Amino acid sequence: MVREEEIINDVVYNLRRLTNLEDIIFKAAEQSKSYGYNLTINGVTFACDVRPQVNKANYNLIVQHMRSLKEQTDKPLMLVANHFSPESFDGLPEEGVSVVESSGNCNIVAAPLFIRISGQKAMLPKEAKGKAFNEAGLKVIFYLLLDEININKPYRTIHEETGVSLGTIKNVIEELGRGKFVLTTENGRFLKNRKELLDVWQTHYNQSLKPKLLLKEMEFVDADCRRDWNKIILPDGMCWGGEGGAFLIDRYLMPELFDIYTETPSVKLIMTKKVKFQEKGRIKLYQKFWKDNTDEKTAPKILIYADLMGSGNSRCIEAAQRLIENGI
């Protein structure tokens, strides 16, 4: 797990190096504050938060958080991270939030400070070097998030229920323990900070695992099938994720795009005569990566949450937050 202190140290070092400003000081904010740090640059003090990275998967959630902070402080806002996507590097300053990368790239917009540095080689997120957030690790974390009792199961049981090697399971749980997500006591293991872990997981899931699960792109055969999509009887081994799954849970989000997870051949869905293969169609078929013994036609709620967050769409972000509020 990347540590905030490492990001902060890199930011201070590289900003001093690139700007020749020595008056750059990080201090922890008071516990009563909704942000983590105060960062002072040349006499201007920012209310500052730290993230490992900012990308399409978590951008809208971060914007909402920073807008909330803006209502709670008169200080200018800043976000520092190992890496910002190009869209967030320019988009957050438009929201009045200055940004600084570990490499020293920055877009600081708080009078009288206006500093923009680009072209420094981005520092790769350090989580990527660990086991917890590689493809196999993401499957283990998903399993742990599904049910609070799973963390305390024997490694061999977790192996049998995830298909992930015993060595990887051990490494993932130990790495989560070194962070702040697993507590081990004489009474067993316990998952901590579940919501934070869920958000870290969904970010990595959308970045690295989900794109590799894509099998086919499809489209409804006609407007009637599109309108009555929820009447389609999915073949055994398939379930709705994403916007469709969210609609089936609470009827709030009217879906525009559709994710389906499957462990059965895609041709069985074609045989319903409701959909057809089509590049860039509204339906995406993904390989199911978890095991269950149910015939549920919606994916687990935490996966639907991840699909919605990964869309980058404000409608979907709102629906994802409803899932959180209603308990997942």
Statement to judge: residues 97 and 141 lie in one domain:
no
Range of the domain at 153: 130-192
226-234, long-range: CB within 8 Å, 24+ apart, which pairs? 226/282, 229/255, 229/258, 229/274, 232/272, 232/274, 232/275, 233/272, 234/260, 234/269, 234/297
- Burial class from Cβ neighbours inside 10 Å (0-12, 13-18, 19+) for residue 14 reads buried
Q: What is the pLDDT of residues 170-187, one digit of tens each?
A: 999 999 998 889 999 999
Q: What is the mean pLDDT of residues 21-32?
A: 88
User: Alpha-carbon dihedral of residues 215, 220, 226, 231, nearest 10 degrees?
Assistant: -70
Statement to judge: residues 238 and 296 lie in one domain:
yes
- Tokens at 297, concatenated: 């036609």
> Does some domain include residue 198?
no
Q: Which residues pair with 37 in a beta bridge?
A: 28, 48
Taking the C-alpha atoms of residue 71 and residue 150, their distance in angstroms, rounded to an integer, is 39
Statement to judge: residues 237 and 186 lie in one domain:
no
Give me the pLDDT at residue 57, please: 75
- Tokens at 161, concatenated: 């229920």
> Does some domain include residue 124?
no
> Residue 164 sits in a domain of what CATH number?
1.10.10.10
- Burial class from Cβ neighbours inside 10 Å (0-12, 13-18, 19+) for residue 154 reads exposed
Enclosing H/E stretch for 62: helix 59-70
What is the pTM (predicted TM-score) of this model?
A: 0.75
Cβ(220)–Cβ(232) under 8 Å?
no
Statement to judge: residues 107 and 26 lie in one domain:
yes
Q: What is the pLDDT of residues 275-302, one digit of tens each?
A: 999 999 999 999 999 998 777 899 999 9
Statement to judge: residues 16 and 51 lie in one domain:
yes
If one counts the domains in the chain, the total is 3
When mean pLDDT is compared across 114-118, 193-197, 264-268, the lowest value belongs to: 193-197
Q: Answer whether the bond into residue 112 is a cis peptide, omega within 30°.
A: yes
> Does some domain include residue 72?
yes
How many angstroms separate the Cα of 314 from the Cα of each of 64, 88, 204, 321?
A: 10, 15, 19, 11
> Does some domain include residue 207?
no
Query: b/e for 302-317, b at 16 or more Cβ within 10 A?
Result: bbbbbbbbbbbbebbb
> Residue 294: which residues within 8 A CB-CB, separation 6 or more?
none
Tell me what percent of the residues of the chain surpass a pLDDT of 70. Answer: 97
Statement to judge: residues 13 and 90 lie in one domain:
yes
* Position 100 pLDDT exceeds 70: yes
The total of other beta-carbon atoms located within 10 Å of residue 155's CB is 15
Which is nearest to 49 in space by CA: 181, 312, 63, 257? 63
> Residue 51 sits in a domain of what CATH number?
3.40.1350
User: Alpha-carbon dihedral of residues 142, 3, 181, 139, nearest 10 degrees?
Assistant: 10
Statement to judge: residues 142 and 90 lie in one domain:
no
> Does some domain include residue 104?
yes
> Residue 279 sits in a domain of what CATH number?
3.30.460
Q: What is the mean pLDDT of the chain?
A: 92
Give me the pLDDT at residue 1, please: 46
> Does some domain include residue 180?
yes
Give me the pLDDT at residue 255, please: 97
> Does some domain include residue 122?
no
Statement to judge: residues 98 and 171 lie in one domain:
no
Handedness of CA 238, 325, 316, 305 (dihedral sign): negative
Within its chain, how far is the Cα of 97 from the centroid? 20
Statement to judge: residues 175 and 252 lie in one domain:
no
Q: How confident is the model at residue 22 (pLDDT cuts 50, 70, 90)?
A: confident
Statement to judge: residues 110 and 146 lie in one domain:
no
Q: What is the pLDDT of residues 122-152, one digit of tens each?
A: 765 444 446 788 999 999 999 999 999 999 9
Statement to judge: residues 38 and 17 lie in one domain:
yes
Statement to judge: residues 12 and 106 lie in one domain:
yes
> Does some domain include residue 289?
yes
Q: β-pairing, 214-220 with 188-191?
A: unpaired
